[in-house]
């Protein structure tokens, strides 16, 4: 396992990346680390799983291109993305959004050497971008939401990368801000890239991004992701979607890496999309909101504990630990009691100290295990007041 290179949990908390910390938690009952969907199946989702043999047969008999088109189109419609493109060569189906990221990063690296990246965000994004040799310039989230980008920042880079809704903060780029940002990118020929992996949790991100991007005339790439929404044991799809002419060799690099995603996975995702459209999405939103309330009320009244992302609807929640030295002691003690959450240091990829006093808890978990885990968190935090 890659995390074996660090000798202790403490070293991992300080030096490891988030995925290495997520490995540690994988088989724990109290795994609140990764942002993957690990809640129980709903009754109607269980029915889909009961139909797997039929789905397999359907997937084997239907043309893959048709399955791909249907799953993508229905997924986009579900989330309000009605102006999605379907032209040949503009939608690339990947095993996951990280694979889509890798393809985007490698494509960018053939033509450009610098990128502005939202700060904070999930650390595998900066890691992948750095991995292909790009120079990263932090784009502070507050600035992105407050005003137009500083022209000096735009002069310094050839592409801009924004995660919306963001992980871990849950902040959503409004239609107006996206319009302004895409306009600025169009003026300068900058490529605008959006990672919308957490879109499905937040109806404020359901406005038609493709319409806004197309109207701006900028070169753009969007990464869509089904992997955070449904408890499909990581059977998921990441879609890499591009403007008509990005000037980047996306299709060539895609073909360097994969032929396509299993039609069985596409058929399965197609059924989960249908289920979401007939009430499942609302149910999911209520479930996450319920788990968020549970966590907040379980920790209510503890000195200096706060929840900085009051508006977030995403499936993760940050807890600000106040001035309890650093989050390390809290994380170590939670680990000893088999409760795993993530430090926020690593999300702050340009300045880890900014994340020192916060941890992130995954909410897409069975409510009962979250309640027990939150009870342990309360005991640990109360002792460390
Ligand atoms: C914003 C964002 N994009 C992409 C990913 C990568 O997802 P995956 O591991 O399914 O490739 C993550 C992982 O949590 C994420 O938070």
Query: CA 99, CA 218: separation in Å to the nearest integer?
Result: 24
What residues are in contact with ligand 1 under a 6 Å CB criterion? 35, 96-98, 122, 124, 163, 167, 195, 197, 227
Distance 98 CA to ligand 1 centre (A): 6
- Ligand 1 atom at minimal distance to the Cα of residue 100: 11
* Residues contacting residue 3 through CB under 8 Å, at least 6 positions apart: 12, 16, 20, 21, 23, 24
Q: Which atom of ligand 1 is nearest to the CA of 234?
A: 10
Q: Return the residue whose CA atom lies nearest to atom 15 of ligand 1.
A: 122
Residues 6+ apart with CB under 8 A from 38: 31, 231, 362, 364, 365, 366
Report how far ligand 1's centroid is from the alpha carbon of 166 (Å).
Answer: 11
SS3 per residue for 339-356: EECEECHHHCCCCHHHHC
Backbone angles phi, psi at 139, to 5 degrees: -115, 100
Beta-carbon contacts of residue 131 (< 8 Å; ≥ 6 apart): 105
> How many angstroms is it from 384 CA to the middle of ligand 1?
32
Distance 50 CA to ligand 1 centre (A): 28
315 CA → ligand 1 middle, Å: 12
Question: Of all protein residues, whose CA lies closest to atom 9 belonging to ligand 1?
Answer: 98
* pLDDT tens string 140-190: 999 999 999 999 999 999 999 999 999 999 999 999 999 999 999 999 999
Question: 34: CA distance to ligand 1 center in Å?
Answer: 9
Which mutation among 127, 173, 197, 200 tests ligand 1's pocket best, with the greatest number of atoms within 8 A of CB? 197
Ligand 1 atom with minimal separation from the 35 CA = 14
Q: Whose CA is nearest to atom 12 of ligand 1?
A: 122
The span from the CA of 84 to the CA of 199, in Å, is 15
Cα 68 to middle of ligand 1, angstroms: 21
Pick from 225, 230, 344 the residue to mutate for probing ligand 1's pocket: most ligand atoms within 8 Å of its CB.
225
**Closest by Cα among 347, 342, 353 to 141:** 347
Phi, psi angle pair for 377, to nearest 5°: -60, -40
What parts of the chain have a pLDDT lower than 70? 1-7, 324-326
Determine the Cα–Cα distance for residues 154 and 246; give it in Å rounded to an integer. Answer: 18
pLDDT in tens, 255-264: 999 999 999 9
Ligand 1, atom 11, residue with closest C-alpha: 98
Residue 358 Cα to ligand 1 middle (Å): 20
């Amino acid at each position: 396992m890659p995390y074996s290179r660090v000798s202790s949990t403490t070293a991992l908390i300080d030096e490891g990346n988030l995925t290495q910390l997520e490995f540690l938690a994988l088989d724990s009952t109290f795994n609140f680390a990764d942002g993957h969907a690990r809640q129980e199946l709903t009754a109607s989702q269980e029915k889909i799983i009961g139909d797997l043999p039929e789905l397999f047969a359907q997937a084997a008999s239907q043309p893959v291109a048709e399955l791909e088109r249907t799953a993508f189109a229905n997924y986009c419609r579900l989330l309000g993305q009605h102006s999605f493109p379907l032209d040949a060569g503009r939608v690339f189906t990947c095993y996951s959004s990280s694979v889509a990221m890798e393809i985007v990063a490698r494509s960018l690296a053939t033509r450009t050497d610098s990128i502005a990246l939202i700060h904070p965000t999930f650390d595998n994004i900066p890691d992948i971008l750095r991995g292909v040799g790009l120079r990263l310039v932090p784009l502070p989230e507050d600035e992105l939401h407050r005003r137009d980008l500083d022209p000096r920042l735009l002069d310094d880079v050839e592409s801009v990368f924004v995660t919306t809704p963001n992980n871990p903060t849950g902040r959503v780029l409004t239609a107006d801000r996206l319009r302004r940002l895409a306009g600025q990118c169009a003026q300068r020929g900058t490529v605008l890239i959006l990672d919308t992996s957490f879109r499905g949790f937040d109806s404020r991100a359901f406005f038609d991004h493709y319409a806004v991007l197309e109207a701006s005339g900028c070169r753009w790439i969007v990464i869509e992701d089904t992997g955070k929404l449904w408890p499909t044991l990581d059977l998921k799809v990441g879609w890499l979607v591009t403007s008509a002419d990005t000037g980047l060799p996306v299709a060539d690099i895609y073909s360097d890496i994969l032929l396509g995603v299993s039609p069985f996975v596409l058929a399965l995702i197609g059924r989960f999309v249908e289920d979401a459209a007939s009430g499942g999405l609302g149910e999911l939103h209520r479930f996450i909101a319920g788990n968020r309330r549970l966590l907040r009320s379980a920790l209510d009244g503890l000195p200096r504990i706060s929840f900085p992302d009051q508006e977030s609807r995403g499936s993760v929640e940050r807890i600000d630990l106040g001035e309890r030295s650093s989050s390390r002691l809290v994380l170590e003690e939670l680990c000893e009691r088999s409760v795993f959450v993530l430090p926020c240091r690593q999300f702050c990829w340009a300045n880890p100290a900014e994340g020192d006093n916060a941890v992130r808890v995954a909410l897409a978990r069975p409510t009962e295990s979250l309640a027990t885990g939150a009870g342990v968190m309360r005991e640990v935090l109360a002792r460390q007041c």
